[in-house]
Structure 1
Amino acid sequence: MRRPVLLIALLLLLAGCTSSPDDKPDEGADRWQPKAGTDWQWQLSGRLDTSVDVPVYDIDGFDHPASTVAALHDDGRKVICYLSTGAWEDFRPDAEKFPESVLGRGNGWEGERWLDIRRLDVLEPLMAERIDMCREKGFDAVEPDNMDGYKNETGFPLTAGDQLRYNRLIAKLAHERGMAVGLKNDLDQIPELVDDFDFAVNEQCAQYGECAELKPFTDADKAVFHVEYELPASRFCAESRELRLSSLEKKYELGAWRRAC
């Protein structure tokens, strides 16, 4: 029996009013998802060399304007926005916004100090502003650095739980803005975080015999962008190809020079 039109309209209205937020589609469902084995270039210092013929560039989010990102897009590249989210840098334009209370010990790099990642009340709006900057410049993804403070002498009693909470917050902020996000190092927490991140970025897993720990990402067909500084490519490329890592030999200053597997 056909239902009266008014009854159908009423039922549809009630269904709309009672839908839960979980019924809404994922706002980031169409975000970029780099696949395992995708080639890349990582350059954080020196004049940017855009002639490297690879599909992905990872560059400093503060140092480059929207026009640089747009030019890379015009060349068919995807572009990752490098940010430090776990450490304070005294040379950034927003450095004065960070209160002294959240600044810990130096992290080994000049002008940088670990952040108290427990202080989400302070750090969430600051990191949201930084990720907004990446989005406004047109970046496709974020590489948040210093995401393993709990394993270091930060000056704060950080726990693994603190790190998981903070890392998931950073992933959420990126996803809410339609961007992909990578897990930087933090190997011990990969099993808990692989579903929260779209790719991984790793330094020196071959040197320390840790590359197999990144398999959860490649098993999910998610890219692992990997670099070695002290080993020649001939020492790690065979394993990298077997594990489907996107591996480069780079120098510590992360200039334009690269040797890919």
Structure 2
Amino acid sequence: MIGRDGQPARRMGRVLPLGVAVVLLTATAACRPDLTPPGAPTSWPVASARHWQWQWQLDGVLDPTVEADVFVLDPVTTTTAETAELRSLGRRLVCQVYVGSVHPDDPDASRYPAHLRGAAVAGTGRSWLDVRRWDALRPVLADRFRLCRGKGFGAVLLADADGYAHPSGLPLEFDDQLQFDRQVAGLARSLELSPGLLGNLGQVTALAPDFDFAVNEECVRLAQCDKLLPFADAGKPVFHVEYSGSTADFCVTSVGYGFASIRKNRTLDAWRLPCPPA
């Protein structure tokens, strides 16, 4: 299923009720060695900002052997055993959560009443959400973040955090989105997760102080990498991916900006081709 900008839709999978999740996590913990808890939240040393190697995998069987410091994963399909293995290898784990949209197949979709839903997110089957209704959205997002934390993630990547910039079918303004994104970042911190921003280049300058890292798709192809400088100039990681072109071509640009860059398939399976570290 293809989403906006020609990219495949990446769904939020099944979210377990908190009580069930706790039981499962407890049983799993009894079967493996104790691990040091993830950072609270994950820290991103400024000295390392230009040197991270990263992986973004939302499709297929997880490959824990990838030589990457940072893994961005689906918090639902990724198992506690898999996160435990990655953490035992010293990897930093980021869960990707859709905060501004909902899919009818999401097991918690019923928690989003019809009056909160707007137009379809082009080609994805998802619907934009009315981010002005923080009172209604906060409890659902908090449960999703708790699932991340319970599975051992130390950071969260906020997806679909830019509904104001799309035909959402809702009267969302720039300031509505800005307030919501800041509230979600604050919620993540309160649950000991480091917040990261996916896309939303139109608000990067305003939001960079509120987020610890950014993830970008195709800023070289789209000639938009300069918009991410508020993160890079502050010593915060920018994790960047291109889906076409040779690394010999785009790495010169992206690494020059100080980004951690890779080439991926649009499906975001295990395959990756990293740029040489800066």
* Paired letter, 2:210: D
Cα RMSD of the aligned pairs, angstroms, is 1.4
Match of 1:60 among 74, 78, 96: 74
Match of 2:237 among 223, 239, 248: 223
Where do residues 58-97 of structure 1 align in structure 2 (5 Å cutoff)? 58-97=72-111
Runs of 4+ in 1 over 3 A off after TM superposition: none
Residue 198 of structure 2 corresponds to residue 184 of structure 1: yes
* Paired letter, 1:248: I
Match of 1:246 among 252, 260, 263: 260
Q: Are the equivalent residues in 2 in contact too, given 1:91–1:111 (CA < 8 A)?
A: no
* Shift in CA distance, 169/257, structure 1 to aligned 2, threshold 3 Å: same
Partner of 1:212: 226
* Paired letter, 2:49: A
Q: Are the equivalent residues in 1 in contact too, given 2:93–2:153 (CA < 8 A)?
A: yes
Distance 1:227 1:90 in 2: 28
Partner of 1:147: 161
1:44-103: per-residue Cα shift (whole Å, max 9, x none)?
011111110111100001111222211110111010011111110222221221111112
Q: Per-residue deviation at 1:119?
A: 1.3
Q: Are the equivalent residues in 2 in contact too, given 1:40–1:54 (CA < 8 A)?
A: yes
1:160-216: per-residue Cα shift (whole Å, max 9, x none)?
101101100110011111111101111121111111000001111111111011111
Partner of 1:36: 49
Distance 1:156 1:125 in 2: 21
Residue 244 of structure 2 corresponds to residue 234 of structure 1: no
Distance 2:123 2:268 in 1: 14
Partner of 1:132: 146
Distance 2:165 2:107 in 1: 28
Q: Per-residue deviation at 1:108?
A: 2.3
* Paired letter, 2:140: L
Match of 2:113 among 84, 95, 99: 99
Residue 210 of structure 2 corresponds to residue 193 of structure 1: no
* Paired letter, 1:121: D
Give secondary structure in 2 for the equivalent of 1:195.
helix
Partner of 1:47: 61
Normalised to the residue count of structure 1, the TM-score between the two structures is 0.86
Q: Per-residue deviation at 1:30?
A: 5.4
Give secondary structure in 1 for the equivalent of 2:210.
coil
- Paired-residue identity, %: 39
Distance 1:36 1:149 in 2: 29
* Paired letter, 2:195: V
Distance 1:136 1:237 in 2: 36
Q: Are the equivalent residues in 2 in contact too, given 1:33–1:222 (CA < 8 A)?
A: no
Partner of 1:167: 181
Normalised to the residue count of structure 2, the TM-score between the two structures is 0.81
Q: Per-residue deviation at 1:235?
A: 2.5
* Paired letter, 2:233: D
